[in-house]
Amino acid sequence: METVIEVNSLRKSFGSNEILKGIDLSVTKGEVVSVIGSSGSGKSTFLRCVNLLEWPTSGDILFKGESVTRRGFKLPLYREKVGMVFQQFNLFQNMNVLQNCVIGQMKVAGRDRETARKIAVECLEKVGMQEYIHAKPRQLSGGQQQRVAIARALCMEPDALLFDEPTSALDPEMVGGVLRVISALAHTGLTLIVVTHEMAFARDVSDRVVFMDGGVIAEQGTPDDIFTNPHNPRLREFLTRFLT
Amino acid sequence: MPSERSALQWIVLFIEKYWLQFLKGTGMTVLLAVIGTAAGFVIGLIIGVVRTIPKQAGGKTGFSLRALALGVLNSLLAIYTEVLRGTPMMVQAMLIYYGLTEFAKVNIAAIPAGMIVITLNTGAYMAEIVRGGIQSIDPGQSEAAKAIGMNHWKTMLYVVLPQAVRNILPATGNEFVVNLKDSSVLNVITVTELFYATRAIRGSYYRTYEPFLIAAAIYLALTFISSRLLRLLEKYLDGPRDFSLAQNVGRTRRK
């Protein structure tokens, strides 16, 4: 299998506080990886390092075998191909739904307006938000905003998508809709890394589950391994808190 | 008998006799405020954006020529804003108007000199306002822009600045109102704005109260009208509060 993202002994410190203490992970094309762990275990920092919103203190990230931290690497091109969905949605507040989905295609990917609009509508249909193209973000519910944010990322036709706790800021009744959208993407051959607190999602949708604890990957394996046969004591403790 | 006139009669007299001078003075005051605010806004915008350029490309650390250049540039800009905000505009006007003639041997007319002074002054204030406006935008907005591949400039141009400019519109309007009033200090370098014109009119009858009452009324009308207009502009920029669901969006619309 072709490796899309490879993380090598990644470390990240903020001041004297070391958040990531050497992460190694390689993700193959089409794979769906869930990252679980308690708050403060470094999940989000790890994901933010992968698309370089945080610069690693040491270690490296390879995209299709190419180092993304080396001098002269075209960072915008990489980010175009590795999309990100945020906990707080971060839709552009000065644009409506359609403009949110079109702007990157036109200003980054260089598509013309007609093509961009067509792709935007297709992507919005995938998340069930095509009727809302004229709405401003603040006029939508959290779940709707997150679906638009997913469509916006899809519009760039990425190789991989990173989800940073995509349902953590949502009302409980909104969570299902967003998770269904992500599950549908999982079956399209897109590579996904999902940081999540939704254990049912991690168990049912992912190919691999990664448990992070104290800035390292404490255990990883198939959902079956992780949820029915966990070895790491911290993981067992973590799971009993969630699955009772 | 002139001394028998009531204040109201004096006012009528002054308006009848000197309306053109008042009008010209008002026109100059408005021109100074418009040019000063507009050009100052552009200066503030440029400085505000330059100050947000990341010192290191891509979060790298250590010495680089880029960081050094940006550091020097930022210090110069900081000096500019501190000096211009820390000295009275009246003093700046004297220094620029008479200083240029004396030392640089540049013969500059009073009106362009006045425009330069008010522009530089507004620019210094706007730089701080723009910086605050940019900082007030949720960092998530520029992270999202970077995450779809936008560089710093595109992020600023399409995502951050449109929101920042909207947010600083009230402060910019305030600068305009301040400029309408403070342009009066440019009378010290003989710019023929409303205060200067009024003072000249006063000389004709040696009456101070009525001409300046008229001037006050004009200043008040100008500031009141411009703050109302700005409120309308803000409402217009915010757009409608509701939206309609789109029909048949699956088909691409043709013109």
Give CA B112 to chain center in angstroms: 16
Delimit the domains of chain B by residue range: 2-58+66-238
Tell me what the pLDDT averaged over chain B comes to.
88
pLDDT tens for A214-233 read: 999 999 999 999 999 999 99
| Residues on chain A touching B252 (C-beta within 8 angstroms) | 114, 117-118, 121
Element of type H or E holding A34: strand A32-36
Residue-level pLDDT at B127: 94
Round to whole Å and give the CA distance between B136 and A93.
13
Q: What is B2-58+66-238's CATH topology?
A: MetI-like fold (1.10.3720)
**Structure confidence at residue B254 as a pLDDT band (50, 70, 90):** very low
Q: Are B194 and B24 in contact (CB under 8 A)?
A: no
> Inter-chain contact B59–A52, Cβ cutoff 8 Å?
yes
Residue B255 has pLDDT above 50, yes or no: no
Residue-level pLDDT at B100: 82
> Inter-chain contact A54–B144, Cβ cutoff 8 Å?
no
Nearest-Cα distance to chain B for A148, in Å, is: 13
pLDDT tens for A35-48 read: 999 988 999 999 99
DSSP letters for chain B = -GGG--HHHHHHHHHHHHHHHHHHHHHHHHHHHHHHHHHHHHHHHHHHHHTTS-SSGGG--S--HHHHHHHHHHHHHHHHHHHHHHS-HHHHHHHHHHHHHHHS-----HHHHHHHHHHHHHHHHHHHHHHHHHHTS-HHHHHHHHHTT--HHHIIIIIIHHHHHHHHHHHHHHHHHHHHHHGGGGGGGT--SHHHHHHHHHHHHT--HHHHHHHHHHHHHHHHHHHHHHHHHHHHHH--S-----SSTTSPP--
Nearest-Cα distance to chain A for B56, in Å, is: 11
**Structure confidence at residue B62 as a pLDDT band (50, 70, 90):** low
Decide if A32 touches B, using CB distance below 8 A: no
End-to-end Cα separation, chain A, in angstroms: 37
**Structure confidence at residue B252 as a pLDDT band (50, 70, 90):** very low
**Structure confidence at residue B59 as a pLDDT band (50, 70, 90):** low
Decide if A169 touches B, using CB distance below 8 A: no
**Structure confidence at residue A136 as a pLDDT band (50, 70, 90):** very high
| Residues on chain B touching A107 (C-beta within 8 angstroms) | 150, 154, 158
Residue B66 has pLDDT above 90, yes or no: no
Q: Please give the share of chain A, as a percent, with pLDDT higher than 70.
A: 99
Residue B249 has pLDDT above 70, yes or no: no
Q: Between chain A and chain B, how many beta carbons pairs sit less than 8 Å apart?
A: 101
Residue-level pLDDT at A190: 94
> Inter-chain contact A90–B141, Cβ cutoff 8 Å?
yes
Nearest-Cα distance to chain B for A216, in Å, is: 23
Residue of A nearest to B60 (CA): A55
Interface confidence, given as ipTM, is: 0.91
Residue-level pLDDT at B253: 43
Average pLDDT, integer, range A136-147: 95
pLDDT tens for B146-183 read: 999 999 889 999 999 999 999 999 999 999 999 999 99
**Structure confidence at residue B108 as a pLDDT band (50, 70, 90):** confident
